[in-house]
Structure 1
Amino acid sequence: MFTIAVKEQQYKTYILSDETAASQLEVVPERGGIITRWRIQGQEILYLDTERFANPDLSVRGGIPILFPICGNLPDNTYTYKGKQYTLKQHGFARDLPWEVTDQVTQDKVSLTLVLNSNEQTRAVYPFDFQLTFTYELQGNSLEIRQQYKNLSSTALPFSNGFHPYFVTTDKTQLEFEIPSQEYQDQRTKEIYPFNGNFDFNLDEIDVAFKQLSSKSAAVIDNSRNFKLTLDYGDDYPILVFWTLKGKDFYCLEPWSAPRNSLNTDEHLTVLESGASYTTSVRLTGNFF
């Protein structure tokens, strides 16, 4: 049985349930269209810093934030378009703006569709018209995020997109990584290092990008929870970013369509012609063993 309930909290929260599989998804449209919780068999899959979430002046650290129209940050948070300089903060603005619920489905599956349209606030930092339509679909132990990006401008629309999911873990030393790459780039130093399947969790911060992906699936096994998380993505996501902080009970495995600063460098940048639209999806699957 599939249901959608609405809970009036600080923010209106939509709770999607697959009751047969005992899985649940919580979505908060007005706080950046974010997924805040995902449960499988009653167990939390995502991390959420509830104090930051409650403060609308702070970016959310937790759940699954949406990255658009950039992934990562720009040098001095600026880019130039047609000779004019614009300021755009890290990961863009989609994760901070209210989204609108446009569709709810509970027949044979459960899904929620949200839309974000360009407005005066977005045009001030990103001079384009667009419409984003995201559908979150929960079925069993699997979560699919289908996305449509539509260019409503009279000019071409340049952007990158991605997600920044925070997965909860209690012991990072018990994590095993199945990432389809033999090397990564340190996001700060730009140095390339070989990847042997392990990270040094004694470091204060790990922020690396895998750019040479040999398949469209990655997985993390958390032996402390007997849990395996699988991330499936298409050719539209040629980069996986891994990020974590020492002393925090989370790790992030992030599918990105383009690297940092692509709005300035054009590297892997998506450019949609006027009136065109583009669809893609990512899938997360969790299995307890």
Structure 2
Amino acid sequence: MAGMMLGRERRVPLLFPIVGKFYEDSFRHAGISYAMRQHGFARDSQWKLIAHTSESCCFMLEASVTTHKNYPFVYRLEMETWLKKNTILTQYCSANLDSTQMLYASIVGLPKNTYKTLGY
């Protein structure tokens, strides 16, 4: 699977490594300025399917040459989803694989059409 597609414009309803917006869509780290769009890049990235069963699947997003241009840290982010009775459960796990501390990382999952389900 080349990438998980959940809609025409976005791949994954997940905000990472930032939730919200940086001033002027950029941040500085170690004297270098990095462009970062609102809500980060995870939702537009190619995720890799790393495991699946008849009731679950696990996808991974890793640092790459492409992500390093906007986020200069080595990381791994996993999203596991499974069915349990009549419920869909999702778990996120992030790991800093860099020798330096990450400047910032946050994760928010946005299941498709949540606003309709919750009445927003």
If the length of structure 2 is used for normalisation, what is the TM-score?
0.84
Q: Please, which of 82, 98, 105 is the counterpart of residue 30 of structure 2?
A: 82
Task: Using the TM superposition, give the Cα deviation of residue 64 of structure 1 relative to its aligned residue in structure 2, in angstroms.
Answer: 6.0
Q: Please, which of 45, 55, 75 is the counterpart of residue 97 of structure 1?
A: 45
Structure index of larger Rg: 1
1:138 matched to 2:86? The reply is no
Q: Please, which of 103, 107, 112 is the counterpart of residue 161 of structure 1?
A: 107
Q: Which string of whole-angstrom CA distances, capped at 9 and with x for unpartnered residues, describes residues 97-143 of structure 1?
A: 1111111123xxx1101111100000011101011111111223311
Flag the 1:168–1:155 CA change in 2: closer, same or farther, 3 A.
Answer: closer
Flag the 1:97–1:64 CA change in 2: closer, same or farther, 3 A.
Answer: closer
Structure with more relative contact order (C-alpha pairs < 8 Å, separation 6 or more): 2
Flag the 1:142–1:80 CA change in 2: closer, same or farther, 3 A.
Answer: same
Query: What letter corresponds to residue 77 of structure 1 in structure 2?
Result: D
Please give the residue correspondences for 1:39-188 in structure 2 after superposition, counting only pairs within 5 Å: 53=8, 59-60=9-10, 65-106=13-54, 110-157=55-102, 158-165=104-111, 166-167=113-114, 169=116
Question: What residue ranges of structure 2 are gaps of 5+ in the alignment?
Answer: none
RMSD: 2.3
Task: Using the TM superposition, give the Cα deviation of residue 73 of structure 1 relative to its aligned residue in structure 2, in angstroms.
Answer: 1.4
SS of structure 1 residue aligned to 2:18 = coil
The structure with more helix, counted as a fraction of residues:
2
Question: Aligned partners of 1:69, 1:168: CA distance in 2, in Å?
Answer: 22
Q: What count of residue pairs does the alignment treat as equivalent?
A: 118
SS of structure 2 residue aligned to 1:95 = helix
Please give the residue correspondences for 1:207-218 in structure 2 after superposition, counting only pairs within 5 Å: none
SS of structure 1 residue aligned to 2:34 = strand
Query: What letter corresponds to residue 149 of structure 1 in structure 2?
Result: S
Task: Using the TM superposition, give the Cα deviation of residue 65 of structure 1 relative to its aligned residue in structure 2, in angstroms.
Answer: 0.7
Flag the 1:95–1:167 CA change in 2: closer, same or farther, 3 A.
Answer: same
SS of structure 1 residue aligned to 2:100 = coil
Question: Aligned partners of 2:12, 2:77: CA distance in 1, in Å?
Answer: 16
SS of structure 2 residue aligned to 1:154 = coil
SS of structure 2 residue aligned to 1:121 = helix
Checking the alignment, whether the CA contact within 8 Å between 2:12 and 2:44 is kept in structure 1 is no
Question: Aligned partners of 2:105, 2:29: CA distance in 1, in Å?
Answer: 12
Q: Deviation above 3 Å: which 4+ runs of structure 1?
A: none
Q: Which string of whole-angstrom CA distances, capped at 9 and with x for unpartnered residues, describes residues 64-101 of structure 1?
A: 61111001211111111112111101111111111111
Query: What letter corresponds to residue 72 of structure 2 in structure 1?
Result: P
If the length of structure 1 is used for normalisation, what is the TM-score?
0.37
Query: What letter corresponds to residue 164 of structure 1 in structure 2?
Result: L
